[in-house]
Structure formats: C-alpha cells, structure tokens
C-alpha cells in the first residue's frame, strides 16, 4: 500500500502536516512532518502535497551509504540509529519527498504510520491510501519541486 495525492483536491490547509508531527513527535509543528504541502500562488495556482511514494526501487535507499534505508513489507523505512545525517537520500529522491528539520539529526520520511496513515484525515480527500499498483503513473511527469 502507498499514499497517493490528488493536488487538484488539496486546499493547502496543512492539517496533514499537523497530524503527522503530532503522531510522530507529539508536537504541533508542520516543519517536523513527513508530508509537505506547497502552496504555489499565483502561478501555477495550485496546492501540492508531497509525500513518499514507497518506490519499488527507491533512489534514496540506493544512495544511502549506511544501509539505513530498507524496505520492510513494502514500506521504505529509514532507521535513525544507522543514519549519519549525510542527506544523500534527500539529493537522490526525484520527488523531493524527504525533509529535514534543524532540531532533528536524520531526514524525515513517511513510514505510513504503521499502516494507519494519519494524513488521511485530509478534509478534501486529497490523500488516499491505495495498493501500489493502483497509483497512477502520472507522477513521472511531475517536476521535482
């Protein structure tokens, strides 16, 4: 299973970011979330959520020199204990779906909340949880930003 985002539905409310930071760190801090919403106005005039796609062949995993990123039952996971904070994974991800925060020594990466993604609280239904094969291929055309 993986998360799929539908930017046309996103309103840019940042509720997904809040619930993410509350679930993982018990704090209200969108800057500590593993999903980010870019509000791009006036051009191109859209709200765009960005979150890890749980790639089959993750570029982040390949780039990690420490073996800190692994696939566990289809979910791409980052082990903070093994991570040295080199950020090579950030550079490697073509979707810009790993994030950093000044207080946290490792990159923030979506772990699907142990199978119960909190961001599905989205009031617009702009985030859905689908089998990986159901995710549309259109993301290949999306730019990295």
Partner 1 sequence: MMGGYMNRILRIDLSKEKIGEEKPNKDWAIKYIGGRGWGARKVWESGIDVDPFGPDNLIFFASGPLTGLLVPSAGKMTIVSISPATRIYADSSVGGAFGAELKQAGYDAIALSGVSKKPVYIMIDDGDVEIRDAEEYWGMGALATEERLKKDIGDNGIHVLSIGPAGEKLVKFACITSDYGRNAGRTGMGAIMGSKRVKAIVVRGFKDIPVADVDRFMEIAYDSFNSIYENEFLDIWQRQGTLQVIAWANERGVLPTRNFQETMFEHAEEIGGDKMEEVKTTDRACFACPMTCGNYCVIREGDTKVVVEGPEYETAAMLGSACGIKDLKTVIKANNLCDDLGIDTISSGNLVGLLMEAYERGILTKEDTGGIELKFGDGEALLKILEMIAKREGIGEIVAEGVRTVTEKWREMKPFAIQAKGLEQSAYDTRASPGMALAYATCDVGAHHSRAWVISKDLEMQNKWTAEERAKLVIYHQHIRPLFDCLGVCRLEWIELSVDENIYAEFYTAVTGVKTTLKKLLERSEAIYNLTRAINILKGMSREDDYPPERFFREPVPTGPLKGKLLQREEYDNLLDTYYRLRGWNSRGVPTERTLTRLGLRDVALKLRKSGKI
Contact footprint for partner 1 (CB under 8 A): 8, 10-15, 18-19, 22, 25-32, 38-42, 45-47, 101-103, 121, 123-124
The DSSP symbol for 35 reads S
Query: What burial letters (b/e) apply to 49-74, b meaning 16+ CB within 10 Å?
Result: bbbbbbbeebbbbebbeeebbeeeee
Least separation in angstroms between residue 5's CB and partner 1 is 14
Least separation in angstroms between residue 98's CB and partner 1 is 16
Which of 68, 127 has the CB closer to partner 1?
127
Which of 47, 54 has the CB closer to partner 1?
47
Which of 13, 86 has the CB closer to partner 1?
13
Comparing C-alpha atoms, which of 92, 95, 142, 120 is closest to residue 20? 120
Which of 46, 130 has the CB closer to partner 1?
46
Least separation in angstroms between residue 22's CB and partner 1 is 6
Q: For the purposes of burial, counting CB atoms within 10 Å of the CB of 30, is it exposed (0-12), middle (13-18) or buried (19 or more)?
A: middle
Least separation in angstroms between residue 134's CB and partner 1 is 24
Say if residues 121 and 19 touch (Cβ distance below 8 Å).
Answer: yes
By three-state DSSP, how is residue 60 classified?
A: helix
């Amino acid at each position: 299973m993986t998360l799929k985002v539908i930017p046309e539905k996103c309103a840019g409310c940042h509720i997904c970011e809040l619930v993410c930071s509350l679930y993982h760190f018990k704090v209200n801090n969108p800057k500590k979330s593993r999903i980010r919403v870019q509000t791009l106005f006036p051009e191109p005039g859209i709200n765009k959520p960005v979150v890890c796609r749980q790639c089959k062949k993750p570029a982040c995993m390949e780039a990690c020199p420490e073996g800190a990123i692994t696939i566990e039952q289809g979910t791409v996971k980052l082990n903070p204990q093994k991570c040295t904070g080199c950020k090579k994974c950030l550079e490697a991800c073509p979707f810009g779906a790993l994030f950093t925060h000044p207080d946290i020594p490792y990159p923030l990466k979506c772990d699907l909340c142990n199978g119960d993604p909190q961001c599905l609280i989205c009031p617009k239904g702009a985030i859905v949880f689908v089998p990986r094969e159901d995710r549309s291929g259109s993301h290949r055309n999306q730019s990295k930003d």
